Structure 1
Amino acid sequence: MTQLSWTGKAAKDLRKIPSKDQQAVREKINTLLYYPNIGNLDFRKLTDRDNQYRLRVGSYRVLIEVQNGEPVVMEIQRILRRSSTTY
């Protein structure tokens, strides 16, 4: 099973978004615990970035760093509303 850790910024980002969206983000992130059996999550590697992925949750993007090359330990780095400067 995958382990998840959160940065301080990610936890703060989560507190700032509406509670309805917070719940959706938490549910999607909890689904990552069962990687690689994550169903139809929109989870993709970021181009030109080593070990960094993004999880799409509605209009929010969860930026995730995969440690040790395999998604055994994932660090939730940021939760941002999608814009032209998100990545």
Structure 2
Amino acid sequence: MIELIWHGRAVKGLRKLPKQDEVLVREKTNALKSYPNLESLDVKKLTDQNGLYRLRVGNYRVLFEIKSGKTVIIEIQQILRRTSSTY
């Protein structure tokens, strides 16, 4: 079983997006439930961040952490607009 958990700042970031982008980000994050088959999504492990991954959705980056166990928990941590200083 896979569970998505949204942190407060991720929810806040999602609400600030234009409606069209918000819908797209929600669709892509819900697709994370196909874990461990994430090849079709643009997911990359961040090198300097301990255990964080990023999902690319247009100009936005969704940062999340995967916690394995009996129930795989994917914690959506933050949504950032891609700029030259995002990472």
TM-score of the two chains, using structure 2 as the length reference: 0.88
Per-residue deviation, residues 1-55 of structure 1 (Å, max 9, x unmatched): 3211011000000000000000100000000011123351101100122210000
- In structure 2, what is the Cα distance between the partners aligned to 1:62 and 1:31? 12
Q: Secondary structure at the match of 2:79?
A: strand
Aligned residues between the structures: 86
Match in the other structure for 2:46:
46
Match in the other structure for 2:76:
76
Match in the other structure for 1:26:
26
Letter in 1 for 2:11: A
Report percent identity of matched pairs.
57
5+ long unaligned stretches in structure 2: none
More moved, 44-53 vs 7-16: 44-53
Match in the other structure for 1:58:
58
Q: Secondary structure at the match of 2:49?
A: coil
- In structure 2, what is the Cα distance between the partners aligned to 1:73 and 1:48? 21
- In structure 1, what is the Cα distance between the partners aligned to 2:50 and 2:16? 28
TM-score of the two chains, using structure 1 as the length reference: 0.88
Q: RMSD of aligned C-alpha atoms?
A: 1.8
Q: Secondary structure at the match of 1:48?
A: coil
Runs of 4+ in 1 over 4 A off after TM superposition: none
5+ long unaligned stretches in structure 1: none
